[in-house]
Structure 1
Amino acid sequence: MTPDIILDTNVVLDWLVFEHASGLAIGEAVTEGRVRWIVSPAMQEELVDVLGRLLYLPTLLRWSARHAPAMAAVQAWSQPVSPPGPLPHGERLRCTDPDDQCFIDLAVARRTPWLVTRDHALRRLARRAQPLGVAVLTPEAWAESQPVPSA
């Protein structure tokens, strides 16, 4: 079975818009089917909103041509899943950034092996998420944790 992965919005931007090496490595794992990128409705809504900013924010307009391809990639490669229900008391991890709560809730509820993020509020939960089966890590740390393909 293909393991699930959750990507925060900035990691998706690194992959689909800014083409950072760390984002491209994760994107390659997604498009090759080595991981399944799951998104809840709240995560999907945030991603559509942020990608839409490429079309009107002056600081992002230089990437406006990447909007349509990024949206197509989101449609092609993300796997929508239902939002999690309330978590048992011992599994509730509170994120200091309410906008990021949906990421940790989904990861814990589904015991997603990886929540990949650069966000400090989410990364502060890494130690508490580990016993629940979730590794919260940066894109670089995720890439380093993956087996090296044999030649």
Structure 2
Amino acid sequence: MDSDPNSFAPPGAKQQAVIDTNITLDLFVFNDDAATPLRKQLESGHLIWLATAPMRVELARVLTYPQIVPRLVFYKLAAEDVLAKFDQHTRIVNAAPKAPVTCADPDDQIFIDLAVAHKALLISKDRAVLTMKKRLAALHVSAGRTLAEVTA
């Protein structure tokens, strides 16, 4: 199948994605090469990143973790820089109702709920999310670690 995320959307529509906190760190802190195609799609406007206020709160909390702060220092970033990039690239929407599937990790449920509500791509490296790929696919959500994986 075409790896263009727009191939799943009707002509003229843009594909929507929900991106978890670890992938956000890959995008804006670690500059992970695996996140480059995702970054390019977001920057070009071809992919719409859906998020909620609680997702931003979670990111702000994670940016204070003792294992993350030294990384911010190493990359000469402040938490505010990462949050500003998040704000620049996301479309904040209302929190979604509980999806008909439940994640083993309660912290990941908000990402699943939002992806299911919007039939959006779900990009996550979290094992609890990835073990749900088949159940999510039945709800019209493609989940995976990278943009290429969710659009394959």
TM > 0.5? yes
Q: How many angstroms apart in 2 are the aligned matches of 1:47 and 1:21?
A: 21
Contact 2:143–2:150 at 8 Å: present in 1 too? no
Offset at 1:60? 3.2
1:135 aligns with 2:142: yes
Offset at 1:25? 2.0
1:3 aligns with 2:15: yes
Offset at 1:41? 2.0
Q: How many angstroms apart in 2 are the aligned matches of 1:138 and 1:111?
A: 17
Contact 2:63–2:69 at 8 Å: present in 1 too? no
Unaligned runs of 5+ in 1: none
Please, what TM-score do these two structures have when normalized by structure 1?
0.82
Offset at 1:69? 2.5
Please, what TM-score do these two structures have when normalized by structure 2?
0.81
Contact 1:51–1:71 at 8 Å: present in 2 too? no
Q: Which has the higher contact order (CA 8 A, sep 6+)?
A: 2
Alignment match, 1:66 = 77
Runs of 4+ aligned structure 1 residues displaced above 6 Å come to none
CA RMSD of aligned residues (A): 1.9
Deviates more, 1:8-17 or 1:23-32: 23-32
Offset at 1:62? 3.9
Q: Which of these residues, 106, 124, 129, is aligned with residue 122 of structure 1? A: 129
Change (3 A) 1:4 1:145: closer
Q: How many angstroms apart in 1 are the aligned matches of 2:141 and 2:21?
A: 18
1:14 aligns with 2:22: no
Between Structure 1 and Structure 2, the one with more helix by share is 1
Q: Which of these residues, 100, 104, 107, is aligned with residue 108 of structure 2? A: 100
Q: How many angstroms apart in 2 are the aligned matches of 1:99 and 1:116?
A: 15
Counterpart residue type for residue 60 of structure 2: V
Offset at 1:52? 3.5
Q: Secondary structure at the match of 2:63?
A: helix
Change (3 A) 1:32 1:109: same
Offset at 1:145? 5.9
Change (3 A) 1:52 1:58: closer
Offset at 1:28? 1.4
Q: Secondary structure at the match of 2:91?
A: strand
Unaligned runs of 5+ in 2: 1-12
Contact 1:12–1:23 at 8 Å: present in 2 too? no
